[in-house]
C-alpha cells in the first residue's frame, strides 16, 4: 500500500508539467463565416479552438438558426462576425445563447469589418431596392486587403480575451499578413515597396498607374507584379456579369468591370424582361464571362451563359465551399484560376491584351 501511494505521488509530480500544458484551457472561438475561422486558426494556432456556423457553400444572408448554433455561441469566449448586416440571423442566436460576453460591443465580440472602406453605400433606403445593406456591400471577404484588416481585428479580439498569448498571436498575425501581401502582389513588389503601401495604393485605386509610371532598374514596376495581381493583369478591365453583387471588392481590387447582374436587384428574383435585357446587353457588349457563387441556382447561370456563348464561372464564395479549397489562399487561387480559364476559353486574353482599363 505504501509503495502504491509512493508510485502515485511520483507519477503525479512527474506528469504535472505535461498535464498542465495539455489541459491548459483553450480559447473557444466561434465565427460566422469559414473565412474568419481560417484567419482565427492561423493567428490563434494551438491556443484556440475555432468553429464556424456558415458552411462554405451556403448563402450567409439566409441561414436558418439551429439549436446547435445556440450551444456553440453559449460556450464561446470569442464570437467573430462581419459586423455589418450580412448575418442578420446572428443576434437571435446570441440572444438565445444567453452569453452576454459575446454580445455586440462586449469584450468577446469581434466585428471583422471594423475599419474597412465599404463600397456601395445605399443612397436610397427602400426595400423596393432589394436586399439593401445600410452600411454598404457586406461581401468584404472577397478582397484579400479586407482580409488583412479582418485579421488585425481578429488578433485584437484574441489578445483582449487571452492576454498571455499576445506575443504568440502578434507573431502569427505578422506571418499571415506577410503571406497575404506576397500572395497578392508577389515577393518582388512587396520587397521593393512594402505590403502596406501597396495595399493603400490599391484601396485608392491608384496602384496600377503608380506601378506603370515608376521604374526600377530600367523597367516599369508593373513588370515586377506577381501573385494574384500579376496573374489578373491580362484580364484587367474585362466586363463581367455576376449573379449577385458578391464581387464588388474583388472587382475593385483587380480592375474588373461589373457589367450587370442576373438578379435585377440584390435578392430579387430575375424577371423575364430583366433576363432578356441582360442577354441582349451581353450580346451587344460581347460579354463572355458570367461569375456566380456556387450557392445560387447553377442552372440559371448556365442558361444565361449558354444563350450568349459566355463562360459560366461558378465558384465557392467561402473557404470549404468546394473540395480542395481548405484555406483562404486556395479560395482566391480558385477564383483567379476560374476567371483566367474562362477568359482563355473565350479568347479574351489573346484578343484584348493586358490592361483594357484606363486606370
Integer angstrom CA distances of residue 272 from 95, 219, 259, 300: 41, 51, 19, 12
Residue with cell 473565350: 346
- Whole-number minimum distance, CB 51 to other proteins, in Å? 18
Q: Which of 272, 324, 353, 358 binds other proteins (CB under 8 A)?
A: 272
Q: Which of 6, 68, 271, 326 binds other proteins (CB under 8 A)?
A: 271
Q: Report how far residue 183's alpha carbon sits from residue 144's, in angstroms, rounded to the nearest whole number.
A: 9
270 binds other proteins, rule: CB under 8 A: yes
- Smaller CB distance to other proteins: residue 75 or 280? 280
Q: H helices within 24-126, ranges in order?
A: 34-44, 67-74, 90-97
Q: Report how far residue 315's alpha carbon sits from residue 339's, in angstroms, rounded to the nearest whole number.
A: 10
300 binds other proteins, rule: CB under 8 A: yes
- Whole-number minimum distance, CB 191 to other proteins, in Å? 41
- Smaller CB distance to other proteins: residue 206 or 271? 271
69 binds other proteins, rule: CB under 8 A: no
62 binds other proteins, rule: CB under 8 A: yes
Question: Are 82 and 111 a contacting pair, CB within 8 Å?
Answer: yes
57 binds other proteins, rule: CB under 8 A: yes
191 binds other proteins, rule: CB under 8 A: no
Q: Which of 26, 59, 135, 156 binds other proteins (CB under 8 A)?
A: 59
- Smaller CB distance to other proteins: residue 161 or 300? 300
Q: H helices within 61-143, ranges in order?
A: 67-74, 90-97
Q: What are phi and psi of 10, to 5 degrees?
A: -60, -45
- Smaller CB distance to other proteins: residue 51 or 281? 281
- Cell output for 48: 484556440
294 binds other proteins, rule: CB under 8 A: yes
231 binds other proteins, rule: CB under 8 A: no
Q: Which of residues 249-268 bind other proteins (CB under 8 A)?
A: 264
Q: Which of residues 308-327 bind other proteins (CB under 8 A)?
A: none
286 binds other proteins, rule: CB under 8 A: no
- Cell output for 296: 445560387
Residue with cell 460566422: 32
- Whole-number minimum distance, CB 266 to other proteins, in Å? 15
SS3 54: coil
Q: Which of 280, 341, 351, 354 binds other proteins (CB under 8 A)?
A: 280
Question: Binding residues for other proteins, how many (CB under 8 A)?
Answer: 25
Q: Which range in 12-20, 171-179, 237-245, 270-278 contacts other proteins by CB under 8 A?
A: 270-278
Decide the pairing of beta strands 257-261 and 239-242.
parallel
58 binds other proteins, rule: CB under 8 A: yes
SS3 240: strand
274 binds other proteins, rule: CB under 8 A: yes
Decide the pairing of beta strands 219-220 and 215-216.
antiparallel
279 binds other proteins, rule: CB under 8 A: yes
Q: H helices within the chain, ranges in order?
A: 2-23, 34-44, 67-74, 90-97, 144-161, 166-185, 187-193, 195-203, 207-213, 227-232, 248-254, 272-285, 298-308, 328-345, 348-352
How many Å from the N-terminal Cα to the C-terminal Cα in the chain?
84
Q: Which of 114, 303, 344, 349 binds other proteins (CB under 8 A)?
A: 303
Question: Are 228 and 332 a contacting pair, CB within 8 Å?
Answer: yes
114 binds other proteins, rule: CB under 8 A: no
Report the interface residues with other proteins, using CB under 8 A: 55, 57-59, 62, 64, 264, 269-276, 279-280, 294-297, 299-300, 303, 306
Amino acid at each position: 500500500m505504501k509503495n502504491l501511494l509512493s508510485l502515485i505521488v511520483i507519477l503525479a509530480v512527474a506528469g504535472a508539467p505535461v498535464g498542465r500544458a495539455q489541459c491548459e484551457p483553450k480559447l473557444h472561438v466561434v465565427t460566422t463565416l469559414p473565412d474568419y475561422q481560417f484567419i482565427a486558426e492561423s493567428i490563434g494556432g494551438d491556443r484556440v479552438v475555432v468553429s464556424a456556423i456558415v458552411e462554405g457553400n451556403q448563402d450567409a444572408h439566409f441561414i436558418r438558426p439551429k439549436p446547435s448554433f445556440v450551444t456553440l455561441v453559449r460556450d464561446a469566449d470569442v464570437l467573430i462576425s462581419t459586423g455589418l448586416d450580412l448575418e442578420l440571423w446572428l443576434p437571435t442566436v446570441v440572444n438565445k445563447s444567453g452569453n452576454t460576453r459575446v454580445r455586440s460591443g462586449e469584450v468577446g465580440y469581434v466585428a471583422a469589418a471594423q475599419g474597412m472602406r465599404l463600397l456601395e453605400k445605399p443612397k436610397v433606403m427602400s426595400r423596393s431596392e432589394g436586399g439593401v445593406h445600410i452600411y454598404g456591400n457586406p461581401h468584404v471577404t472577397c478582397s484579400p486587403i479586407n482580409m488583412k484588416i479582418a485579421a488585425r481585428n481578429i488578433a485584437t479580439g484574441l489578445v483582449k480575451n487571452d492576454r498571455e498569448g499576445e506575443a504568440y498571436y502578434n507573431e502569427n498575425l505578422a506571418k499571415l499578413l506577410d503571406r497575404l501581401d506576397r500572395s497578392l502582389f508577389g515577393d518582388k513588389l512587396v520587397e521593393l515597396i512594402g505590403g502596406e503601401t501597396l495595399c493603400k495604393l490599391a484601396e485608392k485605386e491608384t496602384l496600377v498607374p503608380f506601378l506603370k509610371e515608376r521604374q526600377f532598374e530600367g523597367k516599369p514596376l508593373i513588370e515586377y507584379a506577381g501573385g494574384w495581381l500579376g496573374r489578373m493583369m491580362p484580364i484587367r478591365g474585362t466586363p463581367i456579369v455576376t449573379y449577385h453583387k458578391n464581387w464588388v471588392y474583388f472587382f475593385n481590387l483587380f480592375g474588373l468591370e461589373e457589367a450587370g447582374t442576373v438578379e435585377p436587384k440584390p435578392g430579387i428574383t430575375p424577371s423575364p424582361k430583366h433576363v432578356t435585357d441582360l442577354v441582349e446587353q451581353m450580346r451587344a457588349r460581347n460579354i463572355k464571362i458570367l461569375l456566380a457563387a456556387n450557392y445560387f441556382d447553377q442552372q440559371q447561370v448556365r442558361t444565361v451563359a449558354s444563350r450568349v456563348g459566355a463562360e459560366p464561372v461558378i465558384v465557392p464564395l467561402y473557404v470549404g465551399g468546394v473540395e480542395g479549397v481548405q484555406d483562404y489562399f486556395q479560395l482566391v487561387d480558385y477564383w483567379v484560376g476560374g476567371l483566367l480559364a474562362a477568359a482563355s476559353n473565350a479568347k479574351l486574353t489573346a484578343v484584348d491584351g493586358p490592361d483594357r482599363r484606363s486606370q
